[in-house]
Chains A and B, each alone.
Chain A
């Protein structure tokens, strides 16, 4: 039985190694925030983090995720208060909401490495994530807002350390 580290917890799952990580997360672990959209890595609805990288969980086999740190939307923040989640609410991004876990996870991977992305960098990073309601401009705005919040927070903590 493979052991997976998901959202900081070790969990033993009953699944063949060739099972897509997506279905183990959703069905066995009953964390349904990660969504099935296309099963082919074309829409991004199933995006999770594996060792901090945004990956398509429908294309990631359980055997390849063993021993790695997996984060889903449920584990992105303790109280749903990641700067991106807050920005998503302020900008009122979701319509149907189905793709938004994937959008947020995809964006979080970008901001963890680059808290000051240009619009072009955002578009390039997000272009694999479909939103059928076409909330794209609000997604962009929310990412920019979250990036700005993160920079402010980071500057503030730097200043505190300096004093």
Chain B
């Protein structure tokens, strides 16, 4: 009955670097989709008003928003509903959310694919959701106008009701939908022409409404991937080889496993996706039995070419590559650093490293696969349905158009669920046993088979003129290339020296907003690490290490120049040329954090110090301006107590202030955890840490006081899930230096390293 508005038009965006992804959706990335009865049934119900693919209004007035983004705790589904509700004029209590399948119609309007990351979701969906909401309001208003016999221009829409103040007539959304009289449709051009509200007219944006996903998360009813139950389902437990990548199965003996009650089959995986090699899945009637069976399998391996590698060998290789002039490609090449170093009054060099880090979301990786007729159904919480569906298809040997991904709530993502490795054992086990199979990684599997944050090595060389001004900077970043691993060329960035594409997700942040006339950033792929420790995107990705180097080095330069580190930064943030706008916002944010923390206003006791850092994470085009003041106390043993973290962040516009605070606080604590508590190591080709006894994220007792100040100046909304991760480590390092004179250049920071570097 109702004509639908199709939001085929891409939302306008100035994120031109991202527009390539729209193109890629039409080529290699596109995932066909089989229309399956029963999917999205809420949307398909004929009596619903469905003004766009993004939501429908049922005859009872409930508005169900379909969220195409993975919700891993950032409450993005609720945020999408909030943006729709603002323009639609619906009451918050009428809003519901559901998670989208992998139907391409739910692709991100800017990215042209279903991928969640980069702190992109709000900024890239704000316009499309706003227009969808406004179109619905206009269609409802037009119908109400005709039913009530009053001019549409005199109608007011509020709280899911269209009312006519002059005649005191009104109709609820439910009544209008029930009438079946909504006929208005929108062409893409008409949609684009809709005049959206201005911020002064907002009644919903900027309000901390109750998050829609929270009630089911406090009574145990929220369904995560691991909670999926299908009739006749059996369970799979994987066995991974001792080497992270490169091993092969030589022999598999399941005679002992056959004695485990409920054991069905062990399947050696034929994995062409580059997830890992030499892995096996044991299938049984329960997970407990699958685990017993997996433990009982006798498998011999050829451990392959990486069996002798360690963290040290990856670091040695990184140093060897960095020392070569012809390594890598340039991400930034401004001016002539070689000439400038020749004229510099002072040259400083420093090396910064970060360790391997593990995502370890609390819900271990899992996926459930079921073949039903021609269709492969996958149930899993995943951040990249477009690619993961294709990988599931590859594992099944079928066309991707026959794969339906059922999105679940994610028990943490942090970038780990961009990957699709868990699809492979679920699909191949389901195929082998002819039943639906749920594969659950043990924590040990999850940690040793992580797509970890790569070990990184950075060399920074800086030249100062006689006044201490920074005139030249060479910054080399050596690491595995997490995004290159995906094999999707559109995700790579052309190098400025035209030596082929580079993985900008290893160097973002190094193209900062400081004005440095001669500036090189070189991205160097550590091929050895890339193969031996397939790396992934861990919350905040590159800025998590580039700003560790940049913001530590800037502090070192300020001290070398005999200047206050804050004043030194402010002078560099002069807003000249390409840095205009961003630099000023970052300066203001830094000043806000300093003000909140009382930086420099009083003398601290001996052994205490404050340190600052400011960052433009995640990328130049998507920056949230973030600054941190860390206040630490360092004991003579080198033990660091974090007394307080003060974080200020300029996010342009706040859709949900309370959620932003929650995200920024969580991100800052991630930054602290990575800076002090989390370290993984490679030995004999395998990750040594297997559970939370040796890989030790922050706990409640280690949580310091934290103050968050959100600056919203009315600009377009920026991301909040990641930037604060990146600002904490350098602020801490700088605080430790101010407290005790120890300059730390390696993450995580240990008491031993602090003590060893203390000024005598």
Which residue of chain A has its CB nearest to the CB of B438? Answer: A27
Give 1 or 0 for each of B56-98: 1 = CB within 8 Å of chain A CB.
Answer: 0000000000000000111100000000000000000000000
Partner of B665, one of A19, A89, A97, A137: A137
A155 proximal to B (CB < 8 A): no
Partner of B213, one of A28, A97, A132: A97
- Give, as a whole number of angstroms, the nearest-CB distance from B451 to chain A: 16
B72 surroundings in chain A (CB, below 8 A): 96
Contact flag A33-B221 (CB < 8 Å), given A43-B692, A123-B701, A139-B700: yes
Partner of A96, one of B411, B659, B703: B411
A130–B413 Cα distance when bound, in Å, is 15
Contact flag A89-B215 (CB < 8 Å), given A132-B362, A140-B700: yes
B219 proximal to A (CB < 8 A): yes
A135–B661 Cα distance when bound, in Å, is 11
B698 lies within 8 A of A27 (CB): no
A144–B286 Cα distance when bound, in Å, is 39
Which residue of chain A has its CB nearest to the CB of B211? Answer: A92
Residue of A33, A42, A80, A94 ringed by the most chain B CB atoms within 10 A: A94
Contact flag A98-B362 (CB < 8 Å), given A33-B221, A42-B692: yes
B220 lies within 8 A of A32 (CB): yes
Partner of B691, one of A28, A38, A123: A38
Give 1 or 0 for each of A64-89: 1 = CB within 8 Å of chain B CB.
Answer: 00000000111000001000010011
B394 proximal to A (CB < 8 A): no
Residue of A36, A40, A45 ringed by the most chain B CB atoms within 10 A: A36
A39–B706 Cα distance when bound, in Å, is 32
B210 lies within 8 A of A96 (CB): no
B485 surroundings in chain A (CB, below 8 A): none
B14 proximal to A (CB < 8 A): no
Q: Could you tell me which residues of chain B, from 671 to 705, have a CB within 8 Å of some CB in chain A?
A: 673, 691-693, 697-701, 703
Give 1 or 0 for each of B439-467: 1 = CB within 8 Å of chain A CB.
Answer: 01011100000000000000000000000
B697 lies within 8 A of A132 (CB): yes
Which residue of chain B has its CB nearest to the CB of A104? Answer: B218
B700 lies within 8 A of A38 (CB): no
Which residue of chain A has its CB nearest to the CB of B363? Answer: A98
A85–B699 Cα distance when bound, in Å, is 21
A147 proximal to B (CB < 8 A): no
A130–B696 Cα distance when bound, in Å, is 10
B607 proximal to A (CB < 8 A): no
A132 lies within 8 A of B218 (CB): no
Total A-B pairs, Cβ < 8 A: 165
Contact flag A80-B698 (CB < 8 Å), given A96-B409, A98-B412: no
B218 lies within 8 A of A127 (CB): no
- Give, as a whole number of angstroms, the nearest-CB distance from B721 to chain A: 10
A52 proximal to B (CB < 8 A): no
Partner of A95, one of B666, B692, B700: B666
A37–B286 Cα distance when bound, in Å, is 17
A99–B73 Cα distance when bound, in Å, is 11
A54–B444 Cα distance when bound, in Å, is 24
A97 lies within 8 A of B222 (CB): yes
Which residue of chain A has its CB nearest to the CB of B226? Answer: A36
A153 proximal to B (CB < 8 A): no
A134–B666 Cα distance when bound, in Å, is 5
Contact flag A37-B700 (CB < 8 Å), given A97-B409, A104-B218: no
User: Chain A interface secondary structure, helix, strand, loop or mixed?
Assistant: loop
Contact flag A95-B73 (CB < 8 Å), given A32-B227, A42-B692: yes
A133 proximal to B (CB < 8 A): yes
B229 surroundings in chain A (CB, below 8 A): 30, 32
B213 surroundings in chain A (CB, below 8 A): 94, 97
A145 proximal to B (CB < 8 A): no
A97–B218 Cα distance when bound, in Å, is 8
B662 proximal to A (CB < 8 A): yes
User: Chain B interface secondary structure, helix, strand, loop or mixed?
Assistant: loop
Partner of B699, one of A74, A80, A130: A130
- Give, as a whole number of angstroms, the nearest-CB distance from A146 to chain B: 11
A16–B706 Cα distance when bound, in Å, is 48
Residue of B219, B226, B261, B362 ringed by the most chain A CB atoms within 10 A: B362
A23–B691 Cα distance when bound, in Å, is 19
B414 surroundings in chain A (CB, below 8 A): 132
The number of residues on chain A lying at the interface, defined by a beta carbon within 8 Å of a beta carbon of chain B, is 56
B223 surroundings in chain A (CB, below 8 A): 32
B669 proximal to A (CB < 8 A): yes
A86–B663 Cα distance when bound, in Å, is 21
Residue of A38, A88, A104, A135 ringed by the most chain B CB atoms within 10 A: A38
Give 1 or 0 for each of A16-48: 1 = CB within 8 Å of chain B CB.
Answer: 100110010011101111111111101101000
Q: Could you tell me which residues of chain B, from 286 to 315, have a CB within 8 Å of some CB in chain A?
A: 286-288
Give 1 or 0 for each of A97-114: 1 = CB within 8 Å of chain B CB.
Answer: 111110010000000000
B700 lies within 8 A of A31 (CB): no
Partner of A134, one of B214, B215, B673: B673
Partner of A101, one of B208, B220, B665, B700: B220
Partner of A88, one of B218, B364, B663, B669: B218
A34–B411 Cα distance when bound, in Å, is 13
Which residue of chain B has its CB nearest to the CB of A27? Answer: B286
- Give, as a whole number of angstroms, the nearest-CB distance from B572 to chain A: 32
Partner of A133, one of B215, B218, B666, B693: B666
A46–B220 Cα distance when bound, in Å, is 12
A89 lies within 8 A of B362 (CB): no
A88–B222 Cα distance when bound, in Å, is 15
B498 proximal to A (CB < 8 A): no
Partner of B362, one of A23, A72, A131: A131
A150 proximal to B (CB < 8 A): no
Contact flag A134-B218 (CB < 8 Å), given A15-B288, A123-B700: no
B693 lies within 8 A of A42 (CB): yes
Which residue of chain A has its CB nearest to the CB of B366? Answer: A36
A138 lies within 8 A of B662 (CB): yes
A130 lies within 8 A of B220 (CB): no
Question: Which 7 A/B pairs are nearest by Cβ-Cβ distance?
Answer: A33-B220, A97-B217, A98-B411, A95-B73, A96-B73, A80-B219, A32-B227
